Chain A
Amino acid sequence: MQRKIITVALGVVLALGACAAYAGGSQPNDIRIGAYFVHYDSTATDITGPFTPPGLNTSIGSVTTLYLAYVRTLATHWQVEFAFGYPPVTYAKGKGPATVGSLPYNGKEIASIRWVSPTLLLEYAFFSPRAKWRPFVGLGVNYTRFIDRQITAAGAAISGGPTSISLPSSVGPAVTAGVTYRFSGRWHFTASYSVAQVNSRLTTDTAGILRSNKVHFWPNAAVVSVGYSF
């Protein structure tokens, strides 16, 4: 299913690229660089598995990372944005009792995860392309792949030893709203707020013992960027 969604998304990108060849305007391309301020309204089921006390949960720490995007104008009010960030390291923290046995748990960073999380958005921009202020809204798809998954020393102590982490990739919808302020012919600032649905199941393997919980990451990303149109 996930492979199908990715295939469809790639198809959309290619189709839009082809479509762009017919797009009007003298500056149909736009690249942006800025900062992602990502906060996770994460919810998760309690961790289950052998030798797991009840009530152990996880939360995800906020991150800030580099924002990069390519935006292609398709028509007067339509544009497609391909946004991505420098893969940030996010920390999963223990949530639940203060200690498990004599080991601290609540609030301890138990795992670090690096993400690759590109988002493809079809956006509707208001007002004229020449307007200084152009609010926009968009809808698209987010693909998140979790790489470089590492247990921390505290996580290994809690888990009971060296631990591998599995976190399958996620494909989900994403929405955005923002505004662009054009301060010269080709340069502009953009501020936006995006939410994506990122779900996965975190599974750990410690000495052959598997534990897991389902995590809804719900990343909320505030973005400020500067862009150049060409």
Chain B
Amino acid sequence: MLRYALKRLISLAVSLLVASVIIFIAVEIVPGDPASYMLGLNAQPDTVAQLREELGLNVSPVERYVSWVWGMVQGDFGTSYTYRTPVAEMIWQRGQVSLPLALFALLISTAIAIPLGVIAAGRRGTGVDVGLSTATQFGIAVPNFWLGIMMVLLFSVSLQWFSAGGFPGWQAGFWLALKSLVLPAIALAVPQAAILTRIMRSSLLDTLGEDFMRTARAKGLSRNQALWRHAFRNALIPVLTIIGLQFSFLIAGGIIIEQVFYLPGLGRLVLQSINARDLIVVESVVMVLVFAVIVVNFAVDLAYAAVDPRLRRRV
């Protein structure tokens, strides 16, 4: 067990290191200089040079890479070139929008998808199943940013129930902050829910076709009893896999929705930083996202074991 954990830890460290190299190189080769970006069209070359000096850009890329990685190991992500505030602080602030948003969206999508998937599988071939299948097809096809814009036009512009975007901050009050995340979370959740419904349905149907299900029915359980007691838990494994993947997607992929709803999240931070060539911010945020994805995958592995005792023994 200890050896297993150690092995996983080493592989985690190696993936992070590889990721850091790739991210650093990818960001470095993009043309553009943060100092000239900041100083604009009227700046003299000597002023730009002065600013580069101030920002610590005059050292070689290798030196910058080493100091970046070494800083991260110690928990220091460096200081943003343009904002001049510690990157760790910025990530912490922006994460307070992106993480709750992703969780909220995941909650909505799971809350919609699991019951609908079960209903569709339980009533396979009926009008309900066909109806749900059509609806999920639409759900997958609709781009989330379009859905976001449509919801803004309906709920913000016409009905004025919600503000069209922005985030007041958690200090403005929990409900007020949560309210500002409702529309973006729904916009993010709907396409995910559609995918998840389909997975839930097909996974449950597969399980329902297993031999042990026939045994359960033969024991005298009703269709519904057999479904809930025996099929449901077994059908959850692939669903959990997808939920794990979706969560990673939602953290990193909220970028467009954050743009539509002008939310100060991580995605928007990355976008702003790329435009301003605030390389250190881009690198660090992407690194944190990579870390989040790896951790989520690890958590999903643990969740498998919780759902399926057989996997526990293999570990």
Task: State yes or no: do A and B come from one complex.
Answer: no
Q: Name B residues whose Cβ lies closer than 8 Å to a Cβ of A.
A: none
A interface residues, Cβ below 8 angstroms from B: none
